[in-house]
Each structure stands twice: as C-alpha cells, then as structure tokens.
Amino acid sequence: MHRAQPRTAAPRPTGLVTALFAALLLSLGAVSPAAAQGVPTAPAFMSLEEALELARRHNPTYQATQNDRAVADWGVRAAYGRLIPSASASGSVGWQGTGEQRIGNLTLGDLGVGQQPNYYSSSYSLGLNYTLNGAVLYGLAAAKASRAQTAAAIDQARVDLETQVTLNYLDVLRQKELVELAGQQLERARFNLRLVQGQAEVGTATGLDVNQAEIQVGRAEVGLIQAENAVATATYRLLQVIGLRPSPAVALTTAFEVEAPGWSESELLRLALENNPVLRTRQRGRDLAREGVGSARSAYFPTVSLGLGWSGFTREASNTDFLVAQGQASAAGAFASCQQTNELYSRLADPLPALDCSGFTFTEADRQQLITQNDVFPFDFVRSPPSASLSVSVPIFQGFSRQQQLESAQAQLDDSEYQLRDQEIALQAEVAIRRTQLETAYRSVQLEEQNQTYADEQLRLSREQYRVGLIPFLDLVEAETVKVQADNDLLAAIYAYHDALTNLEAVVGRRLRDD
C-alpha cells in the first residue's frame, strides 16, 4: 500500500519563484477592491472534503446552475396555480369638466338648465375566472418532469465539479511530490559532486568528471525551480476551480492510499445505473418528452371556462346648485303638467275628480335629499348587477396543426428513448474501461515499487563501486538517471491510479474511496 502524503508546509521557493510570486501579488493588488469583492480567501489548511464543500458554495458556474432550481420550483407552483380560479380586481377614478351638454339636437340651455358642473366618478370591478383544458391538466405533470430534469442537471454539474476539484487537488499533491523528488535529486547530485571532487583530489577522477557532476547539479537546480513553479500553478488552478482568491501558501491535508480495487464490474454497473448523473438527466428528459406527448394530445380536448363578476360606480357633481336647479325645474314641469291635466278633466262632459298637485312642489326636504344623494365620491358605490358565464369550446378542425404538434412530440419522445438507450450502452462500456484502467494502474504501482527498489540498490552499489574505482563516473551518472526515472515513474503510476479512481467515481456518480 502506498499513501500519497500531503505536504503541510509550502516548499522552499527559490529566487525566481519568489519573484514570480511577488509579480503575481502585485498584479492582484492592481485589481480594484470592487472587482475582488465577494471572492473569499483560501484557508491555510484544506482537506479534500473542505475543498469540495467550498467549491459547491463558491464556484460561479455551479452557483449559476443551481439558480435553475428556484425557477423549476416556481414552474411547479405556477402549474398548481392554473388548477384554481384566477381573481382580478380593478378600480378607476374620473373627472368630467363643466360645459354645455348636448342631448340630441337640444342643449341644457334649451331646456332651461344652465351649464353642468364638474363631475367626479369612481368605479370598481371584481372577477373570478376559471379555465380547464388539456393543457392545464397535463401542465402539472410536465412542470414536475421539468423540475426533475433540472435537478438531475444540477446533480450532473455537482459531480462534474467534484471530479474537477478532486483532479486538481491530486495535481497539487502530485506537483508537491515532484518538488520533493527534485530536492532529493539535487541532494544526490551535490553528494556526487563532493564524491567526484574527493576522487579528483586523490587522482582517481578527472576534471571532466568534475564538470559532468557540476552539470548534474545545475540541471537538478533547474528541475527544482520548475517543480516549485508547477506547484504554484497547480495551487492557483485548484483555487480557481473552487472559486477562491489565489494564494500560494495552502496546505492540503488529505492523504490518498493506493489499495487493490475491490469492486466487481457488475457492482459498479449497478451503482452507475442508479447514480450516473448523465444517465439520470437523460431519464428525466425522457419523462419530460413523454409528458410533452400528453400535452400535445390534449389539444383535442374541450375547454371549459367559468366567469363571475361584480362591479359598482359613483358619480358626484362638484356644485349642488345645478342639481337643485334641475330638481326645481323637474318639479315645476310636473306641477304644470298636473294643472293642465286638471284643466282637461274639468272640461269633460262628465268631469273627473281633480288631481292633487301639491305633491309636485319642490320642498326643502327634496333639496336636502339631492345634496345627500350627491355626496358619494369616491367610496359610496352603487352596486351593478352581478354577472356569471359558462362556456364550453370544442375544437373541431385547426388545419392539422394539432396533429403536427403531436407527431413532433412523439418524435422527440422516440429520440429521447434512443438517447437513453445509447447512454446505457455507453455507460456499460465506460464502467468496464474505467475499471480496467484502475486495475492496470494498481498493477503498475506494484511494478514501479519493485523498479524503485531495484534502482535504489543499483545506485547504492554504483556509488560503492565508483568510490573504490571499479566503474567510471558515467556509470554512476547512468545509475542516478535510472533512479530519477524510477522515482518519477512510481509517482506517475501512483497518481495515475488516483486519477483513474476519480474518473471511475465520476462514471459511477458517487464516491468509492469511502467504500
């Protein structure tokens, strides 16, 4: 078992790396505070679980994807809302200025009434409406299917994000391991230089050997600088994916172990069929397409509409003198008409009893009643009669548009079925491929561990042989090269295993390391 150890302290930066860090920090300092506002700072120590949690909270792309959940939830609420009646209320106020009002070919002046005053008016209306058709009936199921598809898409985005964060987290650890290997290589190169210099002092090594050893030291120093720069770059990439501010001093605390894969292909396939986010998204898309077929077929259903309404109004004159004058003129006209009727009754051969015309006189009580009745603006409404309506509409022929929509929805459902089947086949192949890659990576780690052991022994023997003069310096350099290659190959095999396991988890749709 080999454990990929996290580094709890940042590697020693050389002068070049320090200069690169300073330039980067200066460039970050040039950013305005408004641009950096809202971007959290990376913690000093961070485990993989903490990195995943921070990414789910701060990654902008994932946050944008999560916003779709609220829209889908409101889509379901709106579908429920269409199953209950809709209510509406409205109100209005109005004003009509003074002037001469025309009644047919006459005016108020012709009728002996002066110009009308200003009028103020107000009104209200309340309505209840309910419409039931196939689109309403299938709309709720379609909205729920759309919400399920949105949830699956968000889950797919989460798995993709976690995979990306895990790979970047592993890359930082990989680069830190390479820094350690580069440091070990530099120490060995310096040891070999001292060894060659000692041999040269006693005459068993040449100046060419010393120069070759110095070249090896220089190359090792360059390799260390490049490895340290790679650590900084990988750290910045990790923080970028998480959504945090760049920081070169972040200690990663999670260790990864290389263990024999203990999952059978059938078990992995079962987990993938249950949890693979792409497959679940395709399944939800198929369900949504099925509801689309039902919605298109509902265009042949009748539509039932029910409406109820209530309303009221007010109208008030700004000057009651006009109303009083109208009342007086009306009473005077009625009194004169009554007198004329009595005159006619008296001239008949058999006269009729005279009418009592005293009731047509305009009194002070009539005047007060007109003034009181006028004081209604704006809320003393006169209610209008309520209204109710019920209608049933049956579609008969609409130019084949309904059938065209139904065929299109059916074709979309068929396409989604084919895509789902294609994804299931691809998932079976992907699980087998990823599992094989993981097993190959595990076997490669075991073999590379043996190769590293052989390289260590070869380097030790080469140093002893060179010290006693049995081999030339070039043979020692070759043994050193074999050692460096063995270390790098083992490290590459270890992280190839972790990368393969991460990719397998992405296909399965859940964590496997905890199992």
pLDDT tens, position by position, 250-276: 899 999 999 999 899 999 999 999 999
pLDDT score of 16 more than 90: no
How many angstroms separate the Cα of 142 from the Cα of each of 74, 291, 413, 424?
13, 5, 13, 24
pLDDT attached to residue 380:
84
pLDDT score of 32 more than 60: no
pLDDT digits (tens, 9 = 90+) for 193-245: 898 888 888 887 788 889 988 998 999 999 999 999 999 999 999 999 999 99
For tokens 């395709």, name the residue. 282
Helix or strand holding residue 483 (H, E): helix 473-508
pLDDT digits (tens, 9 = 90+) for 385-404: 999 999 999 888 878 888 89
Mean pLDDT for all residues in the chain: 85
pLDDT attached to residue 203:
80
Structure tokens at 395: 């579609």
Burial 126-140, CB ≥16 within 10 A → b, else e: ebeebbbbbbbebbb
Query: What percentage of the chain exceeds 70 in pLDDT?
Result: 89
Side-chain half-sphere of 64: how many Cα atoms within 13 Å? 4
Please indicate whether residue 382 or residue 18 has the higher confidence score (pLDDT).
Answer: 382
pLDDT attached to residue 101:
64
Structure tokens at 72: 């889908």
Give the whole-angstrom CA distance, residue 354 versus residue 356.
7
pLDDT score of 11 more than 50: no
Give the whole-angstrom CA distance, residue 75 versus residue 90.
27
pLDDT score of 326 more than 60: yes
Helix or strand holding residue 305 (H, E): strand 303-317
Counts of helices then strands in the chain (DSSP H, E): 12, 11
pLDDT score of 106 more than 60: no
pLDDT grade for 33, boundaries at 50, 70 and 90: very low
Please name each of the domains of the chain with its CATH number.
2-26+39-77+137-159+228-301+402-508 (1.20.1600.10), 85-132+303-393 (no CATH)
pLDDT attached to residue 399:
82
Structure tokens at 348: 């008949």
Least confident piece of the model among 50-59, 106-115, 174-183, 277-286: 106-115
Give the whole-angstrom CA distance, residue 379 versus residue 377.
6
Q: Answer whether 279's CB lies under 8 Å from 513's CB.
A: no
Q: Is the pTM of this model over 0.75?
A: no
